[in-house]
Amino acid sequence: MRLSNLLEINIRQFGEYPFLYFKEKQYTNIECKLFADQFASGLRMHGINEGDKVIVCLPNCPEVIFAYQGITRLGAIIVPVMFTLHPKELHYIALNSGAKAVITSSLILGNVEKALEGVTFKPLVVVVDEPSSEHSLNFYDVKANHYTPVQTIIGKEDDTAVILYTSGTTGNPKGVLLTHKNLTSNAENSAKHNELERGTTLGVLPLAHVYGLTISNICFLMGSSIVIFSSFDTKAIFKAIEKYEVKTFSAVPAMIHALVSYPYADQYNTSSLESVGSGSAPLPVALHHAFEKKFGAKVFEGYGLSEAAPIVTAHKNGIEIKPGSVGIPIPGVEVKIVNDNGVEVDCGEVGELCVRGENVTPGYYQNVEESRRVLIDSWLHTGDMARMDDEGYLYVVDRKKDLIIRGGFNVYPRDVEEILNAHDNVSEAAVVGVPDEKMGEEMVACVVLKPEAVVSEHELIRYCQEHLAKNKTPMRIVFLETLPRNGVGKILKTHLRKTMAEIEIK
């Protein structure tokens, strides 16, 4: 199956129904197909062809869905980009991908124009919410002008559908190649694993992120509807749960934290809510329990990464939920845990998590060396440290690069974070290592307190000492108003390490 087949299959199986809700508008699945066909034709008229790369740099809006489906109909390649990126980051992506077009909005057009300075081949710029100008075209003009039906490219399942650029926290972002088979098989197997029912879900995840993209693909397959939000608005989320009687949706821990902390949650009827899927970052056990207690809904934590399109493991109905675990592998996905020599470790031991399946990337765009480093004998080496229990549940311990080696002993920050997150006065915590002359590395805990909470650094260190081994106790506690996050809510530990190291030097 190819991404361009999803809408056709959806319409054949479910007939016409409201597929997409956005603010006060709704679009049926047939309207989505018509708009996608028209946009594909418009792009073809402007010289975009099979194999060309098209950047889609937009906050969530209907035009993202129309553009994605239109691009795939041409056999062109989608390059989803978070609209929050700095112009320098976008400049690199435009150069590296050789994009022939950029779909964007007036909100970030200035940044896009800065990013395209110095790019030899000027891409076509299409703006979804602004009239055509000297330097850009309007999305709906492209869609409407000279419309003639475009023949959808048949192509192969193994053709590249998407190039998804990683966050680039350790250097320039890498372009993850994802094929049509990678994405459609992952959507099918995720839906099968979770035994999802047809209904209305919430699109709170960025469609520019592979997690959000996959949720929209699952909606096509399931015949479900999706309410999308241009930004995470807690009040609007609760109103939508009540209005559409939402049973389930997917989120990231930062969003789950916001829902639990919202002081007016009791004003909304959330009784329809049965479960929330959590992924993209570790979910603190204390937050897991707090959500289930507050809303009476299950939290199904899972694990994935861009290179696996993205879902690898998840909890589901009918099996035990083990807080702290990310569930079991979904159908069609294999996992194993290996040591530094690539040898599989015993049950319960920590090692590097490796993944194999139809969902795994064939490699990185124009980066053969890095592709060979992470793909060995068809196994994707994730860089995540994990262990598996005797029932096949996976526990992700930490990123390999986040491991702290203190005095020769390995310390996994998540062990410390779980203890701090369980403290009555702590809203959230992130632990990082900083260089230390004596110990090699020392631990600093960055803590955000709950509103009006008062607790001292000394009290929290003593609390850690009561619950952790001495070598796992942070040397310092630094109080912050917020933790730095990327566009999908993942804590930026690289930024924290740099900031905390500078504090220590002073």
**H or E segment and range at residue 379:** strand 379-388
- In degrees and rounded to multiples of 5, residue 4 shows phi and psi of -70, -15
**H or E segment and range at residue 388:** strand 379-388
- pLDDT for residue 171: 65
End position of a domain, from candidates 399, 420, 440: 399
Query: Is position 189 within any domain?
Result: yes
Task: Please enumerate in sequence order all residues whose Cβ is within 8 A of that of 452, keeping only pairs 6 or more positions apart, or say none.
Answer: none
Tens digit of each residue's pLDDT, the chain (506 residues) = 999 999 999 999 999 999 999 999 999 999 999 999 999 999 999 999 999 999 999 999 999 999 999 999 999 999 999 999 989 999 999 999 999 999 999 999 999 999 999 898 899 999 999 988 888 999 999 998 766 777 777 889 999 999 999 875 556 889 999 999 999 999 999 999 988 889 999 999 999 999 999 999 999 999 999 999 999 999 999 999 999 999 999 999 999 999 999 999 999 999 999 999 999 888 999 999 999 999 999 999 999 999 999 999 999 999 999 999 999 999 999 999 999 999 999 999 999 999 999 999 999 999 999 999 999 999 999 999 999 999 999 999 988 889 898 988 889 999 999 999 999 999 999 999 999 888 889 999 999 999 999 999 999 999 999 999 888 999 999 999 999 998 888 899 989 999 998 875 44
Do 349 and 479 lie in a common domain? no
Do 333 and 198 lie in a common domain? yes
Do 337 and 255 lie in a common domain? yes
Classify 322 as helix, strand or coil.
Answer: coil
What is the DSSP code string of 325-341? Answer: ---EEPTTEEEEEE-TT
Do 386 and 408 lie in a common domain? no
Amino acid at site 318: G
Classify 465 as helix, strand or coil.
Answer: helix
Contact 440, 405 (CB under 8 A): yes
End position of a domain, from candidates 155, 171, 204: 155
* 4/180 Cα distance (integer angstroms): 9
Do 374 and 244 lie in a common domain? yes
* 404/384 Cα distance (integer angstroms): 14
- Count how many domains the chain has: 3
End position of a domain, from candidates 140, 155, 170: 155
Query: Is position 172 within any domain?
Result: no
Do 200 and 324 lie in a common domain? yes
Do 188 and 76 lie in a common domain? no
Do 317 and 340 lie in a common domain? yes
In the block, residue with structure tokens 């924290």:
496
What is the DSSP code string of 477-488? Answer: EEE-SS--B-TT
Query: Is position 19 within any domain?
Result: no
Do 445 and 391 lie in a common domain? no
Contact 105, 59 (CB under 8 A): yes
Query: Is position 163 within any domain?
Result: no
Task: Write the CATH number for 468.
Answer: 3.30.300.30
Task: Write the CATH number for 104.
Answer: 3.40.50.980
Query: Is position 21 within any domain?
Result: no
Q: Which domain does 119 fall in, by range?
A: 3-12+27-155
Give the tokens for residue 472: 């796992």
* 28/25 Cα distance (integer angstroms): 10
Contact 367, 96 (CB under 8 A): no
pTM score, two decimals? 0.91
* 274/68 Cα distance (integer angstroms): 30
Do 36 and 107 lie in a common domain? yes
Task: Write the CATH number for 224.
Answer: 3.40.50.12780
Do 414 and 386 lie in a common domain? no
Classify 305 as helix, strand or coil.
Answer: coil
Give the tokens for residue 334: 């294999």
Query: Is position 77 within any domain?
Result: yes
* 356/335 Cα distance (integer angstroms): 6
Do 280 and 259 lie in a common domain? yes
Contact 119, 90 (CB under 8 A): no
Query: Is position 389 within any domain?
Result: yes
Beta strands 225-228 and 101-104 are unpaired
Which residues are paired to 446 by β-bridges?
430, 478
Query: Is position 20 within any domain?
Result: no
Cis peptide, bond prior to residue 310, ω within 30 of zero: yes
